[in-house]
Amino acid sequence: MTKLEPRGRKVKILATLGPASRDPEMLRRLLRAGADAFRVNLSHGDHATHAETIRTVRALEKETGRPIAILCDLQGPKLRVGTFKDGEARIAHGATFTLDRKDEPGDATRACLPHPEIFAVIEVGQRLLINDGKIRLRVTSASADEIVCKAEVGGVISDRKGVNVPDAEVPIPALTEKDRKDLAFAIREGADWIGLSFVQRPEDLAEARRLMGGYGALCAKIEKPQAVKRLDEIIALSDGVMVARGDLGVELNPEEVPPLQKKIVNKTRLTGKPVIVATQMLESMIESPAPTRAEVSDVANAVYDGADAVMLSAETAAGNWPEEAVLMMDSIAKQVEQDESYRERVHLLDTPSDATTADALSHACLTIADTVAINTIIVFTASGSSARRVARERPAVPVMVLTPSVATARRVALLWGAHPVATKDIGSFEEMIAKGKRMALRHGFGAAGSKAVVMAGVPFGVPGATNLLHVVTISGDELEKHQGD
């Protein structure tokens, strides 16, 4: 596979891998089609299969010279009903249905709910949603051993279907025993991001942080109403956020999700941390080679909002048209970003700078890009924090992120507008300028006579020391001067 050209868009595409896409040749096609990062869903499959998938991605990374982010998504705690005498039962609309703690097969009138935590917090008037909200129960009485409900929406209930408790904070840990094993596996295999599912409270992030031991970045998945109530705290304690609209749409009314999506995107953008919009974006492309017009508008809306990344789930993991789904998302994103109103809309959110030198310089990059004809902003960074600051400003030109850390380069691959390059460290101002020019030419972000803005920190190699901004003009012979980067 030849070296990948610049994407020509700012928003990133995160594609979920699975049976339809983990084959090396299909992975190569997805990368060429426009995928910038890959999600490994640890809810399905085994460690051996996932490890092979990750090795395939890393081989492609080496082949193309493009850092690729891998997000390993933990399953999280799953609340489920027990089993039924005949494997399933039908609950009539308006009927009384009881959930209890008896370890016996259920029927049309009752079922076992093997989660004492729910019995401890549930109250009369609250809802219980079963099988992704297809069955909706309203609690009429509750005790330590029995929850009696009225079926507001009945239907067929079968073995071990999931239960959502939208109106109460259930005191269960965010990490199950399976999650702990999966997290250890993900860190061992070098995952760049860990997706923490069903976050309810800021404390849920602390345990994951401890187990990660400083490796990787933590993405909080917002899919519970309880998380929305403490959104600011959760964003502050995470490295990035995912708007997981699947379960969020189950526990909330559908019409509540779009404004909430915008709220989460905006609040996360203010921090400069990457925010991903996920779930059902091109759902019909699981089976169809073309999306619906509504799905196209949905993806476009997330791009207009300035989300860092948009995600494909089953479309690429198990669908019939994985490559076409990535190509479609890439096409939608490019079309939106070429819209003359895009820049205005993406800047409707005011992102005031913090009172630091690094933030002031990041904002200055935006001003220079809007005033002078430059091709790219070149950011030298060790931790990636300078890149996040510049990306938060949503400049009109791409941001080339040069870092000696491969781990930083991979994490930055999810950041809006960022083109990460893992390269040798620099030791002087002259070396920095020369390398910046070479890399701009080598990666297609400059030509002879074009200008670039370079941002870095002196002394070099010291995290958090960003204090330098320089505008350079690239000459045509820069590439000939040094090839050992």
- Nearest by Cα to 352 from 271, 237, 274, 275: 271
Q: Name the nearest CA neighbour of 211 among 244, 172, 242, 176.
A: 176
Active site residue 39: yes
Residue 367 appears among annotated catalytic residues = no
Contact of 413 with 67, CB cutoff 8 Å: yes
Which entry of 16, 271, 279, 376 is annotated as an active-site residue?
Answer: 279
Write down the catalytic residue from 22, 221, 245, 389: 221
Helices (H), 65-194: 116-121, 177-188
CA-wise closest residue to 419 among 471, 461, 375: 375
Active site residue 16: no
Q: At 110, phi and psi to the nearest 5?
A: -155, 165
Tokens 């200055």 locate to 364
Q: Is 221 a catalytic residue?
A: yes
Structure tokens that stand for 22 in this block: 């983990």
Helices (H), 284-428: 293-304, 314-317, 322-338, 342-346, 357-371, 385-392, 406-412
Q: Which listed residue (80, 101, 334, 345) is catalytic?
A: 80
| Token duo for residue 349 | 């959110």
Q: Are 404 and 425 contacting, i.e. CB atoms less than 8 angstroms apart?
A: yes
Q: What are phi and psi of 97, to 5 degrees?
A: -135, 135
Catalytic residue among 39, 224, 230, 245: 39
SS3 83: coil
Q: What count of other Cβ atoms lies within 10 Å of the Cβ of residue 273?
A: 23
Cβ–Cβ under 8 Å, residues 54 and 189: yes
Q: 53: helix, coil or strand?
A: helix
- Catalytic residue annotation: 39, 80, 221, 279
